[in-house]
Amino acid sequence: MRAYFDHNATTPVDAAVLAAMLPYFSPEFGNASSIHSEGQRARMAIEDAREAVAALIGAQPRDIIFTSGGTEANNLAIFGVLSAARRAGNGAPHVITSSIEHPSVLQACEELQQRGVDVSYVGVSKDGLADPDDVRRAIRPTTALVSIMQANNEVGTIQPIAEIARIAAEAGAHFHTDAVQSAGKIKLNVNEMGVDLLSLSAHKIYGPKGVGALYVRAGTPLEHIQFGGHHERDRRPGTENVPGIVGLGKAAQLASQRQESDAARMRALRDRFEKGIMERVPYSRINGFPEGRVPNTTNMTFPYAEGESLCIALDLAGIACSTGAACSSGAVEPSHALTAMGLNAEEARSSLRFSFGRGTRDEEIDFALEVVPAAVERLRQLSPVYPGAAERA
């Protein structure tokens, strides 16, 4: 048996999504900027997809900008708002973010610092929660943007976005949330959340890789950061990826239809997995907020077992999981999110993320509950600090 438990890294393309995309690779190959019939059919397909993405997050279609993925959407939000703030001449702008953001936000903020922008990083609790009062205390008169992810990609903790957005609005700052790991998993409504900008990605919701979207509330000042055309309402130049956008639209439509039932099913699978592991693997523990997590994600620490070795052992045994964020694979440093939550380097390196999906089956959970405890125990036997190891040697 082979069990895939890494849906936070990427999901398989849904068969219905693939079927929707296929015509736009060949018979419907028109450029959506062309005025002839072929081009206008492509344009109609893009606008249908825009409506579907907007419906998923409770937005207006005109406020959706298609991008190449979540990373570009995050960069466009951050650099676009900051560029507009600088052009407005409101002094040196200030940015607030959290210590557990995705690298596409953290590294964007590091680049801003290299360009002379002040950035404040708020910490999180042991459960991965940012305190809205910490954001309030970090606000300055020059704060132009607050960017806090809605759900963490490693532990799944859901942030109090509406409260933080309200604090930002009261201070006259714009608010952006990276919703790549929450879109399609929990109900989103940009008006109820109070966000000005929101990023999402197709390949996290059973769509294709290489396409995503940025929601920009009407009236939010945002300058384009690329040059070369007037596509996407002058916000993102470049010939549109019509097949990818169609795929994102279909994936968003399916997510809207299946979100509630998918969430209930994945939560049940996750809870059964966690309960079984905690009963079978001594010293193991769950990272992240116990209740306020996206329903498909669990991150667990297995003391006395090195995480990368365990991940490889599980792969060889038929289970795909992750030591953390996929874009950090191969890094020797422990997870920045886990260390920000208070885990030491050794604990962070002994942690694995299991993320379940629409196709995860009960028998795969049963399989994992046999394989994971055995793999952990085998690695622990090699550890000189594992309790009882010396006596067994």
Instruction: Please list the active-site residues.
Output: 327
If you ran DSSP here, which 8-state letter would residue 186 be given? B
Structure token digits, residue 387? 């309790």
Q: Which of 134, 135, 132 is nearest to 143 (CA)?
A: 135
User: Which residues are CB-neighbours of 107 under 8 A, at least 6 positions away?
Assistant: none
Q: Which of 30, 38, 73 is nearest to 243 (CA)?
A: 30
CA 284, 376, 267, 188 dihedral sign is positive
Cβ atoms of 221 and 173 closer than 8 Å = no
Tell me whether residue 281 is exposed, middle or buried, using C-beta atoms within 10 angstroms of its C-beta: 0 to 12, 13 to 18, 19 or more.
Answer: buried
Q: Which of 272, 267, 271, 287 is nearest to 358 (CA)?
A: 267
* DSSP E strands, 205-296: 212-216, 285-287
Q: Which of 263, 280, 288 is nearest to 341 (CA)?
A: 288
Q: Which of 242, 231, 176 is nearest to 65 (CA)?
A: 231
Cβ atoms of 307 and 278 closer than 8 Å = no
CA–CA distances in Å: residue 251 to residues 5, 38, 104, 179, 243: 20, 24, 23, 15, 12
At 97 the three-state DSSP class reads strand
